[in-house]
């Protein structure tokens, strides 16, 4: 919003800039306001790019000079910057993300590291192929942060949050074909109920699906607040601290981005990318993700390919949770390649 205001004020300032008239005075005032909003907007976005469990990830990966590392969810570049610092002066990093906005933010943040950084647009689902074609066929460490970035949550037009009036989108990759609107308007009631139950662990999934189908018969559902209101009414309104639509939105986001299947596909590839002694650090934010990570690491350990470093998932400290409430659900698991 602040960036939009900055552009608006700058354009308005230029339009008013008529030499030799009082419009020139207005022009300078609007341009100053535009610059102020631009600075405020940049500060706001940077403030909300706080990486979760940063120190714990670095401690888990043990980056060293000359090492090669992959951040499969590079986002704003927070974890990547810390890894590059710890592996200086000549450690290299491949950053992967399917969101062009995230890659642009990462490029700006990681620019000081020059050619030590390679950024690629893509999904971590294809991490093995992306790594091989980028010169990172064997690496000393890989990190995945599976959470939705604060940037994505705070940009209403991305459609991840039910706290604003926004299109029902929820795509990590803006070029992907399926949106949340497609699912809620096109899926049969039973399939919709199953999706909400499976990915949201929502016990009221059948009531929610029935309410959605009834509403879409009157008109297509197109906005996040519209869907949130339908879910809330179906569940009898808000009764606790958590919004009634939270689990439904989680389920739709997971389905839109095929998150669980992507994670299941990526983990074995990550194991194959690691050199002996190399480490993988995975941050999950809900039980469905964490269960997949836990079971995969355990199976690889039983096969003798991994050594589990974190017997229990590492959680954010009380101090971090206070500073960044979104870190409360984060769970970090670390494992080391053996063979």
Q: Parallel, antiparallel, or unpaired for β 92-97 and 68-71?
A: parallel
Contact 307, 277 (CB under 8 A): no
- Asked whether residue 277 falls in the same domain as residue 296, the answer is yes
Dump pLDDT digits (tens) for 126-175.
999 999 999 999 999 999 999 887 777 778 788 888 888 999 999 999 99
Which of 208, 233, 255 marks a domain boundary? 255
Residue 119 DSSP symbol: E
- Asked whether residue 124 falls in the same domain as residue 264, the answer is yes
How far apart, in whole angstroms, are the C-alpha atoms of residue 9 and residue 205? 46
How far apart, in whole angstroms, are the C-alpha atoms of residue 89 and residue 102? 25
DSSP secondary structure string for all residues of 156-174? GGG---SSS--BS---SST
Sheet order of strands, 331-337 included: 117-121, 92-97, 68-71, 139-145, 274-284, 331-337, 306-308
Question: 């399917």: which residue's tokens?
Answer: 98
pLDDT above 70: residue 8: no
Output 289 or 23, whichever has higher pLDDT. 289
pLDDT above 60: residue 52: yes
- Asked whether residue 263 falls in the same domain as residue 146, the answer is yes
Q: How confident is the model at residue 36 (pLDDT cuts 50, 70, 90)?
A: very low
- Asked whether residue 235 falls in the same domain as residue 303, the answer is no
- Asked whether residue 103 falls in the same domain as residue 247, the answer is no
Please, what is the end-to-end C-alpha distance for the chain in angstroms? Answer: 50
Question: 């631009």: which residue's tokens?
Answer: 38
258 Cβ partners below 8 Å, 6+ apart?
A: 125
Strands (E) across 88-199 are located at 92-97, 117-121, 139-145
- Asked whether residue 221 falls in the same domain as residue 84, the answer is no
Dump pLDDT digits (tens) for 173-229.
999 999 999 999 999 999 999 999 999 999 999 999 999 999 999 999 999 999 999
Q: How many domains would you assign to the chain?
A: 3
- Asked whether residue 42 falls in the same domain as residue 60, the answer is no
Phi, psi of 274 (to 5 degrees): -75, 135
How far apart, in whole angstroms, are the C-alpha atoms of residue 29 and residue 9? 9
Beta bridge partners of 332: 283, 314
**Which residue range(s) make up the domain with 169?**
155-255
Listed residue (220, 221, 250) closest to 153, CA to CA: 250
Q: Where does residue 24 rank: exposed (0-12), middle (13-18), buried (19+ CB within 10 A)?
A: middle
Q: What confidence score (pLDDT) does residue 49 get?
A: 60
CATH number at residue 215: 1.10.150.170
Q: What confidence score (pLDDT) does residue 30 get?
A: 36
Q: What confidence score (pLDDT) does residue 28 get?
A: 38
Q: What confidence score (pLDDT) does residue 6 get?
A: 38
- Asked whether residue 68 falls in the same domain as residue 37, the answer is no
How far apart, in whole angstroms, are the C-alpha atoms of residue 128 and residue 193? 34
pLDDT above 90: residue 238: no
- Asked whether residue 30 falls in the same domain as residue 62, the answer is no
Phi, psi of 338 (to 5 degrees): -105, -55
- Asked whether residue 67 falls in the same domain as residue 146, the answer is yes
Which of 255, 287, 308 marks a domain boundary? 255
pTM across the whole model: 0.84
Phi, psi of 72 (to 5 degrees): -80, -5
Q: ω into residue 89 within 30 of 0, thus cis?
A: yes
CATH number at residue 80: 3.40.50.150
Contact 32, 5 (CB under 8 A): no
- Asked whether residue 312 falls in the same domain as residue 299, the answer is yes
- Asked whether residue 245 falls in the same domain as residue 161, the answer is yes
Which of 228, 255, 282 marks a domain boundary? 255
Output 325 or 116, whichever has higher pLDDT. 116
Tokens of 153: 């949550």
């Amino acid at each position: 919003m602040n960036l939009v205001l900055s552009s608006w004020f700058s354009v308005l300032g230029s339009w008013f800039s008529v030499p030799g008239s009082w419009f020139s005075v207005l022009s300078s005032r609007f341009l100053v306001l535009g610059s102020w909003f631009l600075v405020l907007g940049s500060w706001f976005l940077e403030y909300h790019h706080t990486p979760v469990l940063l120190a714990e990830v670095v401690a888990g990966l043990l980056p060293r000079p000359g090492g090669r590392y992959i951040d499969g969810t590079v986002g704003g570049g927070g974890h990547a910057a810390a890894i590059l610092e710890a592996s200086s002066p000549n450690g290299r990093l491949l950053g992967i993300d399917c969101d062009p906005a995230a890659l642009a933010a990462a490029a700006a943040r990681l620019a000081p590291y020059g050619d030590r950084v390679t950024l690629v647009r893509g999904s971590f689902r294809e991490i093995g192929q992306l790594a091989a074609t980028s010169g990172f066929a064997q690496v000393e460490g890989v990190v995945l942060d599976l959470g939705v970035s604060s940037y994505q949550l705070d940009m209403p037009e991305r459609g991840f949050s039910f706290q604003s009036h926004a299109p029902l989108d929820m795509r990590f990759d803006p070029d992907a074909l399926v949106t949340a609107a497609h699912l809620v308007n096109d899926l049969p009631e039973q399939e919709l109920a199953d999706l909400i139950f499976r990915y949201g662990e929502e016990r009221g999934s059948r009531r929610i699906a029935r309410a959605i189908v009834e509403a879409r018969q009157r008109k297509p559902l197109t906005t996040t607040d519209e869907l949130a209101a339908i879910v809330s009414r179906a569940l009898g309104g808000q009764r606790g601290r958590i919004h009634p639509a939270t689990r439904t939105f989680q389920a739709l986001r997971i389905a839109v981005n095929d998150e669980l299947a992507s994670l299941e596909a990526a983990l074995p590839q990550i194991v194959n990318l690691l050199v002996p002694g190399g480490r993988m650090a995975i941050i999950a934010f809900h039980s469905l993700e964490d269960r997949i990570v836990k079971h995969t690491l355990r199976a690889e350990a039983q096969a003798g390919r991994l050594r589990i470093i974190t017997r229990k998932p590492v959680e954010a400290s009380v101090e971090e949770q206070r500073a960044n409430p979104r870190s409360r659900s984060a769970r970090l698991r670390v494992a080391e390649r053996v063979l």
